[in-house]
Amino acid sequence: MQLSKDTPAIITGGASGLGRATAEGFAAAGVPVAIFDINEEAGLEVASAIGGTFHKVNILDEDSVVAGFEAARAAQGQERICVHCAMASTRGKTLAYDKESGGYKKLDTDTYARGVAGVLVASFRIASHSALGMSALDPMEDGERGCITMPASVAAEDARYFCDAAHVGRAAAGAGQSGCVRAVSETPRQAGRVRFAGHGTGAQWLF
């Protein structure tokens, strides 16, 4: 895709880390950028620095996401680019040693479910709303309608990465990211107007 003022982007999690760097990169390339994040203070700061817009969005909440897409599209037009970097997961080992009882305790199933939902279900929420919007666009000169990217993690493909100090206790996040990688490889087969570009870490859909 040729980046320009005519390829608006929505970056979730744009207030920090990977999302912030992505937002800054697109803005530097002349792309109008809308940031979705739950952190209003940091999101506004980034948006102001790059000349973009900020929309307070909770990726766990359907209505909040719908309102965010409506506001961003009203401000800069239908997005051609969507990069989903926001993540809302939970921590906890499946089994952990419990000092009090001297035995093991298991991770609460509801906590695990919330952690998976914050990655896997939230990713579907963002990607499906964006895909629907992009499907109504005319293809550009190169034949693409748009591009949705969901950065997962190498940990989605190799559980050993969850054994190191930084990742231990992220059973739910890892399961959610594995699901995202698999979903990306399945989704193009379910949608008629979609051209599939690749899958795995840094998965990408081309529309």
Ligand X SMILES: NC(=O)c1ccc[n+]([C@@H]2O[C@H](COP(=O)([O-])OP(=O)(O)OC[C@H]3O[C@@H](n4cnc5c(N)ncnc54)[C@H](O)[C@@H]3O)[C@@H](O)[C@H]2O)c1
Which positions touch ligand X (CB under 6 A)? 13, 15-19, 37-39, 57-60, 85-88, 151, 153
Q: Which is nearer to ligand X, 135 or 201 (CB)?
A: 201
Of all residues in this chain, which one has the CB nearest to ligand X in the complex?
17
Query: Closest CB to ligand X among 59 and 127?
Result: 59
Is residue 57 within 8 Å of 36, Cβ to Cβ? yes
Pick the closest to residue 82 from 19, 138, 174 (CA basis): 19
For ligand X, the closer of residues 15 and 181 by Cβ is 15
Q: How far apart are CA 134 and CA 81, in angstroms?
A: 9
Q: Which is nearer to ligand X, 10 or 145 (CB)?
A: 10
Beta carbon of residue 205, minimum distance to ligand X (angstroms, whole number): 17
* Integer Cα distance of 195 and 145 in angstroms: 10
Distance separating alpha carbons of residues 45 and 100, to the nearest angstrom: 44
In the bound complex, what is the minimum distance in angstroms from residue 30's beta carbon to ligand X? Answer: 23
Least distance (Å) from ligand X to the CB of residue 138? 30
**Closest distance to ligand X from the beta carbon of 98 (Å):** 28
The rounded distance, in Å, linking the Cα atoms of 115 and 42 is 23
DSSP H helical ranges for 52-116: 62-76, 109-116
The pair of three-digit structure tokens given for residue 188, joined into one six-digit string: 């193009």
